Amino acid sequence: MAASSLTQTLTLQSDPPQADLDDILCSNQQQEQQKQQELLISSSDTSPFGLGSPRQCLTEESHIDRAWAHWLKLGRPKLIVAPMVDNSELPFRMLCRKYGAEAAYTPMLHSRIFSENEKYRREEFTTCNEDRPLFVQFCANDPDTLLEAAKRVEPFCDYVDINFGCPQRIARRGYYGAFLMDNLPLVKSLVQKLALNLQVPVSCKIRVFPDLQDTINYAKMLEEAGCSLLAVHGRTRDEKDGKKFRADWNAIKAVKDALRIPVLANGNVRHIDDVQSCLEETGADGVLSAETLLENPALFAGYRTGEWVVGSEGSDKEGKLDQTDLLVDYLKLCERYPVPWRMIRSHVHKMLGDWFRVHPHVREDLNAQSKLTFEFLYNMVDRLKELGIKIPLYMKDSHEDRVPANGLATRNV
Ligand SMILES: Cc1cc2nc3c(=O)[nH]c(=O)nc-3n(C[C@H](O)[C@H](O)[C@H](O)COP(=O)(O)O)c2cc1C
């Protein structure tokens, strides 16, 4: 591809480049301003509202209308790459988009470090023009700090997302993620702060409470606080192991039924049939997938690993792609959009896990490299192919015809 046609990667080395952004955002902003003027309700306060705080004056009704208008403007994405620390970075998002993903979350970013540390911003958040719709996710426990971080990314994304779902020890120590489920007033203040002060809508990602009514009350509180899109991971804070605990789609359905904003379902989406079942059973507006996408970034294009062929309805045949092809695609994207090597290493292990189980000595060679290079990794893929074992991805007969050779699948789910 000609260098001139390459998309420039947008990094946040310092404040957003305002002049360029103004060009990009100008027409949108004018439309937004007009819409906001229309949506302002008349009140005794007749002072003009600055652009920074129009949402303070919106009724609940117009909040819901705006939430849907935004979702429709984005094309109602159904197939979404979940946020994954060190794993849903730009090249991986672009790979998944190539194979059917319709939107993607960044990895969780730490709002305080993001506001304070330029190196962290530069390394942990990169994007490009094609990387949309994009949800930028933060963890936070201080509304002002969260807002400061969010302001830096809002020109580059479609939602600023707050992570209320992380159950890890580090989140307990840092007091964020799912541990804020014990402090709902703080949760509310974080959402309100963004909803009142950002131009882009706020989304939230939550886990469920053990008690269904608690979950519904929690979700309603988020909606009332100004959340415009809610992703529900159907596991509780204590159900950390996704392989051990099935996500509760009934709880997600109950939230969807109780809310008026768009709701996304997360958990147990391991192949394309799960997408269909999940949408049908929960009524959700879209699904997120995480762990399985790491092994099989072409999941949303209808490809499945051998593990999910047995028992699937209809006839599966070997697809045109396997995981080594996907890895090569990913490496090319990493050359174009550089990211830290630890992220690349993690994806190599996830995508080629099945291959390494057959050829453990290739994994050992990889592990022996304290410093990786693209040359080493491309050679490693060639070596695996020369070893002669085939580990295909599968695809239903009827589906593969719909996937062009260069990916970019469109799915009718
Ligand atoms: C490697 C990895 C990193 C993750 N990092 C995040 C994160 O940064 N933010 C978040 O909200 N969830 C994170 N999660 C959770 C996923 O987004 C998702 O909620 C969870 O894995 C359930 O989806 P699944 O059943 O499709 O795996 C992570 C999961 C994995 C596997």
Any ligand 1 atom below 6 A from CB of 290: yes
Rounded to the nearest integer, the mean pLDDT of the chain is 86
User: How much distance in Å is there from the Cα of 28 to the middle of ligand 1?
Assistant: 32
The domain limits of the chain are 55-298, 306-400
DSSP state of 406: T
Q: What percent of the chain has pLDDT over 70?
A: 81
Q: For 368-396, how does the pLDDT look when each residue is reduced to its tens digit (9 = 90+)? A: 999 999 999 999 999 999 998 889 999 98
Whether pLDDT at 237 is above 60: yes
| Helix 184-197 vs helix 143-153: crossing angle, to nearest 10 | 40
CATH domain 55-298 topology: TIM Barrel (3.20.20)
Q: What pLDDT band is residue 400 in, cutting at 50, 70 and 90?
A: low
Any ligand 1 atom below 6 A from CB of 286: no
79: helix, strand or coil? strand
C-alpha separations of 333 from 7, 97, 127, 128, 322 in Å = 11, 12, 12, 12, 17
Q: Among 166, 204, 278, 334, which one carries the catalytic annotation?
A: 166
Q: For 61-119, how does the pLDDT look when each residue is reduced to its tens digit (9 = 90+)? A: 899 999 999 999 999 999 999 999 999 999 999 999 999 999 999 999 999 999 999 99
Q: Among 346, 348, 344, which residue's Cα sits nearest to residue 380?
A: 348
Whether pLDDT at 404 is above 60: no
**Residue 16 exposed, middle or buried by CB count within 10 Å (0-12, 13-18, 19+):** middle
DSSP state of 211: S
Any ligand 1 atom below 6 A from CB of 111: no
Q: For 255-279, how does the pLDDT look when each residue is reduced to its tens digit (9 = 90+)? A: 999 999 999 999 999 999 999 999 9
372: helix, strand or coil? coil
Least confidently predicted of 4-8, 171-175, 293-297, 368-372: 4-8
User: How much distance in Å is there from the Cα of 230 to the middle of ligand 1?
Assistant: 15
Active site residue 166: yes
Q: Looking at per-residue confidence, does 202 or 19 come out higher?
A: 202
- The model's pTM: 0.87
Q: What pLDDT band is residue 156 in, cutting at 50, 70 and 90?
A: very high
Q: For 320-366, how does the pLDDT look when each residue is reduced to its tens digit (9 = 90+)? A: 899 999 999 999 999 999 999 999 999 999 999 999 999 999 999 99
Least confidently predicted of 50-59, 65-74, 230-239: 50-59
